Chains A and B, each alone.
Chain A
Amino acid sequence: MKLGFRRLAALLCCALLLAPYAAWGEQDHIVELPIDFSPGMPVREKYETGKMTYDDPSIHVEREYNKAERYHVVRIKIATPNQLRTVAAESFNSRAKVEVSTMARRMNAVVAINGDYYSEHPGSFVLRQGQVFRGTVNENRDILLIDEEGNFRIILAEENPGDMDLTQIDGKKIINGFEFGPALVRDGIRVQDDSKSPTNSKPWEDAGRICICQTGELEYMIVACKYWTMSVSRMTDVVMSFGNVQQAYMLDGGLSVNVVFLGKKINDTDVTTVRPVPDAIYFASAYDPN
């Protein structure tokens, strides 16, 4: 018996010693995605009705639908900043549009949402995957910048983003920049101001709304409400109610609101018209089992 316990103890010790190596081995399979328009690593699972989570060593996604308030929440945690990526329907110099699910399929996105519809917002700032496609900034619009560490930097309109170098902030290179807005939350403080919404987004009306939030280091959240159900102010209330939102920024709403999970559009599924959009933001897997 004594020998048996010894063997068991020895086995346990070996297992404990090997565990970090096993974990290290899995981490080793996480690749650094390049900052360009190449796709992410292929996803390991397919969408099934009712599927609420996705996991691999590089990304964790969980989603929920609040039936009472009619909004979707998708929480994403990624291992490397480059897994937060952007893509255009054709190129960021064109006005071509496709459905977000198409872009998601092309890019192996785990989660994809619509972007800021840059093509029909002339003069707006367009910086994607490290390249500036349009350097102009519209007056009276808040700007969302995402730096090389995956952190959101919100520049409010009153801070005159047009006079700033928007390609780097505090020595950090900016990888993606969006201009739609308004900003809802900055550094945990509500900053939403309807007057900074794009003209046709009618912030006071109940409509389809979507916002992208940062909740922690490499942790993000997407909140997308059901068609015709939220004003921008109400969306801010919802976002603030989560308590842990550090930054939150509105993207193009109405029929443009698209949340795609494992290639399947999960919001407003009863609406038969799916609006093609010129750009998307997506979260990709960086896990390469090979």
Chain B
Amino acid sequence: MEPSSAYLIWMAGSTLITAGAHYLISSSLRRRAMNAGLTWLLGITLGLACAKTVYAVIEMLQFWMATGLKNYRFWDALLSFDVYRVSFFGGVLGVCLGAALAGRLTGNAPMRALNVYAPAGMLMAALARFGEGFLGFLGAGRMMKINGLSFFPIAVVNEWGEGRLAVFMLEGLVCLIVAAVSLRASSQDRFIRTLFYLCLPQILLESLRDGGLVVHEFVRIEQLISMVTVETVLILYGVWAKGKKRRFLPAAVGLMMAGLFVAVEFTLGGKLFNGTGGGEDFGFLSHALAEEEEFWEDAETWAEEAGGSELLIPCLSYGVMALGLALLAWMERLGYAKIKDRMK
């Protein structure tokens, strides 16, 4: 069976499981069965439409930044049946719109419908991530440097026996955990908090992916969308916490973390620290180093010595990023504590 056919069958099954889960947890909604059915139908339709549209827009942006739009065929990207040419967050947007619209059509407030749907939505996200395993490179990370760990579900092994980090499994697992936490959380603000925790780990996980859609240099578009969503939630908390002290502190920390994450990405891309102490974009430093003739001598000996640091920079970089994400999670709790009684 073609990988894309297997993926589509998996996704179709996943939507049915999600619809069942949604029905089970939506007892507080009016016209429960109709709402679950409509959410399923509209979720598929709008989810697909938005996943394709957002991808086409991103691709158009890529074209525009690279060469201009003369040769770009927007409708080709939009109407192609290529399962690789879809945006995950576009799909999330479409499914959320579908759930809100279904709520409205069944006489429920859209936000209330979204709050109820959030855990089921995360289950769908988890299943969609697991399904990426059928698509080869799409959900996999870089080549594993530690051969002993090259086995499923940690890695996917290709025809040459090379293991690649199974990022899609990690993403699916994270989505499942968020779904479980979301289910236990208070139904008020459940949607916005679930969205926050869908995007927060994705900032790191997107960086681990190999085939992410890059718009410019190291800017991965889905990572950017995740960061923007996280920051928007923190800003919204600040706005809603009117009159409270230091209400924009979480948003300010969010901005600082965004800067830190950019630095981490540049480090991972070898543009800040790469064993020579500088990067190609830092002209003054590179020139200073280039003048040091001795610096370049005995390069092959250096390489042997540098072998040990091959994993050091990624480990340190991702460690810093994980700490930054933990700080953002703490900021979210801090921000939410200021607004959780706003409905009373």
Contact = CB atoms under 8 A, between A and B. Distances in A.
A122 interface: yes
B189 interface: no
Contacts of A102: 143, 162
Nearest to B285: A228
Nearest to B82: A93
A139 B280 contact: no
Interface in A69-128: 70, 89-90, 93-99, 102, 106, 120-123
User: Interface size bucket, A side?
Assistant: 35 or more
Contact of A227 (B66, B280, B297): B280
Given A96-B210, A96-B211, A272 B68 contact: no
Interface residues of B, number: 50
A290 interface: no
Given A123-B71, A270-B306, A95 B211 contact: yes
B294 to A, nearest CB: 11
B302 interface: yes
Contacts of A272: 274-275, 306, 309-310, 313
Q: For B72, B214, B290, B313, which residue has the most chain A Cβ atoms within 10 angstroms? A: B290
A125 to B, nearest CB: 10
B71 A255 contact: no
A137 B137 CA distance: 26
A140 interface: yes
Contacts of A98: 142-143, 162
A98 B165 CA distance: 13
Nearest to B215: A120
Interface in B198-220: 210-214, 216-217
Main secondary structure of the interface of A (DSSP, over half): loop
A269 B216 CA distance: 26
A123 B136 CA distance: 23
B289 interface: yes
A143 to B, nearest CB: 13
A97 B287 CA distance: 29
Contact of A269 (B143, B287, B302): B302
B280 A254 contact: yes
A53 interface: no
A88 B203 CA distance: 27
A228 B137 contact: no
A26 interface: no
A206 B286 CA distance: 9
Interface string B73-92: 00000000000100000000
Contact of A95 (B65, B68, B137, B306): B137
B66 A269 contact: no
Given A98-B143, A272-B275, A226 B296 contact: yes
Interface in A197-242: 198-200, 205-208, 226-229
Contacts of A6: none
B343 interface: no
B280 A70 contact: no
A275 interface: yes
Interface string A181-207: 000000000000000001110000111
Contact of A94 (B84, B160, B217, B295): B84
B187 interface: no
A4 B228 CA distance: 93
A194 B275 CA distance: 30
Interface string A255-289: 10000000001101111111110000000000000
A198 B296 CA distance: 28
B67 interface: yes
A275 to B, nearest CB: 6
Contacts of B137: 89-90, 94-96
B240 interface: no
Nearest to B312: A272
A101 B136 CA distance: 21
Given A123-B67, A226-B296, A254-B280, A270 B302 contact: yes
A95 B213 contact: yes
7 contacts: A95-B214, A99-B143, A122-B67, A139-B68, A228-B287, A270-B296, A270-B302
Those 7 A-B pairs whose CB atoms lie nearest each other, nearest first:
A273-B270, A272-B275, A269-B303, A96-B137, A228-B286, A270-B302, A273-B274
Interface of A: 49-50, 67, 70, 89-90, 93-99, 102, 106, 120-123, 136-141, 162, 198-200, 205-208, 226-229, 254-255, 265-266, 268-276
Given A106-B160, A162-B71, A271-B270, 12 more contacts: A50-B300, A95-B211, A95-B212, A96-B211, A121-B66, A122-B62, A123-B72, A139-B68, A270-B295, A271-B276, A272-B310, A273-B274
